[in-house]
Amino acid sequence: MKFIIRIISIACLSLPLAHSAEPAVGSALPSLSGLLPGGTLPKTSGKVVLVDFWASWCAPCKASFVTMAKLHQKYAAKGLVIIGIGVDDEPKDYAAFVANHKVGFTLVHDAKQSAAGFFNPPTMPSSYLVDRSGKIRHIHKGFKGAKSEAEYIQEIEALLAQ
């Protein structure tokens, strides 16, 4: 009886842990094409990739777009690929935001929030910086203006140099 109770209690307590399979620093970037069916994604093999989760209702996301556009302009030719994943529920909100924010990098709509569900970004915005081998090296939680921009530049330059 004691054994059965132990088994049941361990099973019950381990249930919440079964959900913690989200990407972390050191893990490989999952296939985005599988998570974003229908989205047109650029080639990422051998490139430094910045995957950014944003939403039209998120003010820091809007602020981060200026920095993302700068990073794209400066480093795209050197091998940086930025993929902005919009997680809006409403396609019209996503479309309006994209129309108002012309950026050079790729934007895709995660209409069913499947990519967001898989990555489980801890805040909005959240971004994942991936090295040339496809491994997640840095996770940025939120956007803190010039401080975040400086961090992005430092990390991207280090990864591009590898």
88 to 127: interface string for other proteins, x by CB under 8 A: xxx--x-------------------x--xx--xxxxx-x-
Residue 19 as a binder of other proteins (CB under 8 A): the answer is: yes
State how far the Cα of 130 lies from the Cα of 124, in Å rounded to an integer.
18
Residue 51 as a binder of other proteins (CB under 8 A): the answer is: no
Amino acid 13 reads L
Q: Compute CA distances 116 → 76, 159, 160, whole Å.
A: 24, 25, 26
Pairing label, strands 126-130, 106-109:
unpaired
Q: Which stretch, 21-29, 31-39, 51-59, 127-135, contacts other proteins (CB under 8 A)?
A: 51-59
State how far the Cα of 35 lies from the Cα of 22, in Å rounded to an integer.
13
Residue 64 as a binder of other proteins (CB under 8 A): the answer is: no
**Contact (Cβ atoms closer than 8 angstroms) between residue 33 and residue 67:** no
Interface residues toward other proteins, by CB under 8 A: 1, 5, 8-9, 12-13, 15-16, 19, 53, 55, 57-58, 87-90, 93, 113, 116-117, 120-124, 126
